[in-house]
């Protein structure tokens, strides 16, 4: 299985990073723009990361770097591992499932690590986060799936 994961990661690393960048931009649009409309203000994943790591708010830039780094590099690697384990093909559906998994992790692991209520307190923020993570996953899987189809 490790060999298959390695092979998938090295098949087209540029497409993996490009899909990660595009999906991360979409995620940022949802967390900054759409959340302002729905929640009255932007979502602050960098602040949550800083809380989870016990970092002072003056180090918010570290949280930003980690959040964008996860979107561009970490989550794409996780997606490939998920894809190999499940046998799913790259595409919007597998991306949406991946986005849902990321949302579950954010709503549980990250929230607990930051000392916050599970699933953002089960309010509007929970739904906004779900939509943002589904948007990330759907776009990521779609871009990567299109890239894979073009290789054929």
Longest dimension (CA), the chain: 49
DSSP H helices, 2-123, are 2-11, 13-29, 35-39, 45-53, 60-69, 75-86, 92-105, 111-113
What would the pLDDT profile of 40-53 be if each residue is shown by its tens digit? 888 889 999 999 99
Name residues whose C-beta falls within 8 Å of residue 95's C-beta, 6 or more positions apart in sequence: 23, 79, 137, 138, 139, 140, 141, 142, 144, 145
What would the pLDDT profile of 90-130 be if each residue is shown by its tens digit? 899 999 999 999 999 999 999 999 999 998 888 888 999 99
C-beta separation of 92 from 141 below 8 A: yes
Report the distance separating Cα 123 and Cα 128, nearest Å. 9
Nearest to 33 by CA among 43, 23, 24: 43
Name residues whose C-beta falls within 8 Å of residue 120's C-beta, 6 or more positions apart in sequence: 107, 111, 126, 129
Task: Answer yes or no: pTM beyond 0.75.
Answer: yes
Q: Distance of CA 152 to CAs 19, 29, 80, 143, 148, Å?
A: 18, 32, 19, 15, 7
pLDDT band for position 151 (50/70/90)?
Answer: low
């Amino acid at each position: 299985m490790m060999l298959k994961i390695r092979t998938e990661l090295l098949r087209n690393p540029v497409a993996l990073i490009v899909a990660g960048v595009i999906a991360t931009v979409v995620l940022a649009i949802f967390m900054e723009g759409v959340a302002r409309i729905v929640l009255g203000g932007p979502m602050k994943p960098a602040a949550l990361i800083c809380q989870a790591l016990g970092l002072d708010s003056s180090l918010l830039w570290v949280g930003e770097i980690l959040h964008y780094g996860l979107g561009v590099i970490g989550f794409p690697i996780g997606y490939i591992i998920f894809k190999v384990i499940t046998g799913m093909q790259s595409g919007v559906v597998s991306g949406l499932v991946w986005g849902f998994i990321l949302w579950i992790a954010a709503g549980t692991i990250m929230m607990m690590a930051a000392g916050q209520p599970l699933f953002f307190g089960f309010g509007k923020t929970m739904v906004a986060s779900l939509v943002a993570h589904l948007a990330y996953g759907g776009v990521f899987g779609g871009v990567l799936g299109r890239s894979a189809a073009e290789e054929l």
